[in-house]
Structures are given as C-alpha cells and as structure tokens.
Copies of this chain bind each other. A is one copy, B any other.
Amino acid sequence: MASPSTPPCAACKFLRRKCLPECVFAAYFPPDQPQRFASVHKIFGAGNVAKLLNELRPNQRQDCVASLAYEADMRLRDPIYGCVGVISVLQHRLRQLRIDLSCAKSELSKYQSITISGAAHGSLAANHL
C-alpha cells in the first residue's frame, strides 16, 4: 500500500500505474523484489493473478503468491515442462527409493528368518542335552 512516503509496489511499478491503498498486489510484491512480479506476470498475467488473490482470504494470499512465483520461475527455466518437470523427477526418485527399500526389506527378512530358525535350532539342540 503506497503513501506519499512509500514507493509503489513492484506490480504497480511494472504496470506503470498508481499504487492505491487497496492494491491487492502491494502486500505480496514489495518494491525491492521487481523480478518476482515480472515473472508471475509473464506466465500468468497480472489480471489472472489479481483474480486468484481476490478469490482467497487475506491469510491465504502469501502462500498463493509464493507458489505462483515458484511455478513462474520453473516455467521460465523450463518452458516445456515447468514445475511438472520437477514432479516427474521427484516421482522417478520415489519409485527408485521404493525399489531400494523393498530390496533392503527383503534382504533383512532373510537375515531375520535365518536368526529365528537358528535360535529355534539352538533351542531344539538344548532340549536334547
């Protein structure tokens, strides 16, 4: 929110418009982070972002802007896959880790069954003494 002593928010500066006290962007796009708004505007468009923010409660907007900024950055870095590429990488790692865990558990169960049968054998042998 701009007053005569505060500069306009990054969004209003980018859009070359007056930053009014009720500006929906001001709380989330401070003037010292001009790139954040530029990226979000390039990918989603200022109008769509304003519409999204206006449909949320004020306490939800900071998280929404953070996630939009992340998505926008990812799309600028990877125009084909954006953050869906990150999801694919994570899903691939998850599949690999599940395989590794399953192998480790299966190996562990072999050792455990050897230990149990060994203990049972020992106890049988003791019964014969």
Chain A positions 46 through 65: 1 when the CB is less than 8 Å from some CB of chain B, otherwise 0? 01100010011000100110
Contact between B52 and A79, CB atoms less than 8 A apart: yes
Interface size range of chain A in the complex: 35 or more
When distances are taken between beta carbons in the complex, the residues of chain B under 8 Å from A82 are 67-68, 71
Q: How many copies does the complex hold?
A: 2
- The A contact surface, by secondary structure, is helix
| 17 sampled A-B residue pairs with Cβ under 8 A | A44-B44, A44-B45, A45-B48, A52-B75, A52-B79, A55-B79, A56-B79, A63-B81, A70-B84, A71-B83, A90-B91, A93-B94, A94-B97, A104-B104, A107-B108, A111-B111, A111-B115
